[in-house]
Amino acid sequence: MARSQFVYTLVVEVGRAPGDGLPDGATGAALMCYASGIDEAEAVRETVALLKQAEMSPLDVTGYGTVEDRLAEGHEIDDEERALMERARSENAVIVAQMTPFFDDAKAKGGNG
């Protein structure tokens, strides 16, 4: 008996780890992911496991619910985002849609004042 798969929007904060592929000087990153699962807990578990396999260091996950949840909250979801969500559902996959690296502002400004 197949269970229904839903797609959840997750933002995962990652720290630095050897081989993580983040830009030089980055202290970590936020990854926007679309993950399929029978519930949000499963989507989070699958996403964290996948990121660990990719040599990343997940620190925190914030869930934004399903597309229906997000629409009810007033989020705008464009066609490109919907296509990525559909791909996550149809492939029973985790799609990393966006990566925003974090940089330490104190280092970036330099200490030679």
At residue 107, the pLDDT reads 55
At residue 111, the pLDDT reads 45
Tokens of residue 67, six digits: 């597309």
Q: Residue 98, SS3? A: strand
Residues 6+ apart with CB under 8 A from 51: 12, 14, 31, 58
88 C-beta neighbours (distance < 10 Å), count: 24
pTM of the entire predicted model:
0.87
Domain range annotation of the chain: 6-109
- Are the beta carbons of 106 and 47 closer than 8 angstroms? no
Could you report the per-residue pLDDT of 24-70, keeping only the tens digit for each?
999 999 999 999 999 999 999 999 999 999 999 999 999 999 999 99
Question: Does the structure show a pLDDT above 60 at 112?
Answer: no
Question: Does the structure show a pLDDT above 90 at 2?
Answer: no
Could you report the per-residue pLDDT of 63-91, keeping only the tens digit for each?
999 999 999 999 999 999 999 999 999 99
* Residue 19 DSSP symbol: T
Question: What value, to the nearest 5°, has the Cα angle with vertex 90 and ends 73 and 81?
Answer: 40
Phi-psi category of 74—alpha, beta or left, where left has phi over 0 and alpha has psi -120 to 50? left
